[in-house]
């Protein structure tokens, strides 16, 4: 097997995996959206299942988008290599290049506007607190979203429990969510009975800690993806040029 044949096989194998992964993700996304009634029935049938589990249906749109992109990339890479189609290889190169440029642009924007991150976070925090005090306890979707976030990150509010002061839930019950109290208080608690225990970290701080703790892994994954994208573009252009020279 010559160099050209090796590149074709590698291109087919690599993009074949991408194609199958994309098809699987797309299929799951479509199933989640089309058969939402059955999924909801299944979730409701789980004993002691939290109501927030129904929010999993909203992930369907993201799965469909990601699956479709991977499906197109994998198809173009596989067929372009095996059929020696310069058009498909060029289109594959363009799509991967656009994704790569978007990733680089996003990284540059983050670095350039990093000094403004504090101001942006402050505005985001203000909006989040306003959202809590307006809808938590009154809007089921907002309540479920915040409960799911707090349960997952083991946090309380955006900054702390005071974010819930004045919310419909606090006004109606004079209590705070159970996620804002330590395990000693298994039910909803108030400032009088659980004041010293209302020290659960806010979700923003927990999210920041999560990123800081996994920063090396995130950078490594990002660099790995970037290297794979560059290699994919190099191989596709190499095949493109070799096929062009054979035609000439």
> Is the distance from CB of 54 to CB of 144 less than 8 angstroms?
yes
Highest average pLDDT, of 30-39, 140-149, 176-185, comes from: 140-149
Highest average pLDDT, of 59-73, 79-93, 97-111, 187-201, comes from: 79-93
User: Once rounded to an integer, what is the mean pLDDT over residues 68-79?
Assistant: 88
The confidence score (pLDDT) of residue 118 equals 62
The confidence score (pLDDT) of residue 190 equals 60
User: Once rounded to an integer, what is the mean pLDDT over residues 20-40?
Assistant: 75
pLDDT classification of 36: cutoffs 50, 70, 90: low
> Is the distance from CB of 184 to CB of 227 less than 8 angstroms?
no
Q: What is the pTM of this model?
A: 0.59
The confidence score (pLDDT) of residue 133 equals 92
User: Once rounded to an integer, what is the mean pLDDT over residues 64-77?
Assistant: 87
The confidence score (pLDDT) of residue 153 equals 83
The confidence score (pLDDT) of residue 64 equals 86
Task: Using the predicted structure, report yes or no on whether residue 45 has a pLDDT greater than 50.
Answer: no
The confidence score (pLDDT) of residue 52 equals 47
Alpha-carbon distance of 156 to 145, in angstroms, equals 13
pLDDT classification of 114: cutoffs 50, 70, 90: low
């Amino acid at each position: 097997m010559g160099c050209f044949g090796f590149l074709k096989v590698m291109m087919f194998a690599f993009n074949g995996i991408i194609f199958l992964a994309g098809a699987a993700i797309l299929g799951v996304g479509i199933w989640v959206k089309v058969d939402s009634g059955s999924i909801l029935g299944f979730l409701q049938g789980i004993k002691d299942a939290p109501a927030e589990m129904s929010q999993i249906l909203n992930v369907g749109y993201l799965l469909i988008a990601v699956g479709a992109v991977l499906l197109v990339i994998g198809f173009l890479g596989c067929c372009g290599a095996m059929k020696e189609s310069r058009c498909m290889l060029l289109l594959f190169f363009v799509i991967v290049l656009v994704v790569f440029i978007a990733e680089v642009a996003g990284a540059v924007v983050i670095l350039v506007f990093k000094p403004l991150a504090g101001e942006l976070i402050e505005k985001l925090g203000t909006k989040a607190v306003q959202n809590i005090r307006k809808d938590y306890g009154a809007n089921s979707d907002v309540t479920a979203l915040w409960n799911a976030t707090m349960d997952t990150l083991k946090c309380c509010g955006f900054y702390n429990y005071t974010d819930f002061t004045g919310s419909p839930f606090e006004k109606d019950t004079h209590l705070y969510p159970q996620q804002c109290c330590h395990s000693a208080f298994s039910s909803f608690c108030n400032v009088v009975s659980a004041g010293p225990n209302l020290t659960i970290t806010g979700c923003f701080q927990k999210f920041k800690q999560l990123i800081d703790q996994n920063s090396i892994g995130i950078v490594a994954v990002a660099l790995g993806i970037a290297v794979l994208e560059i290699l994919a573009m190099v191989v596709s252009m190499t095949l493109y040029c070799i096929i062009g020279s054979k035609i000439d």
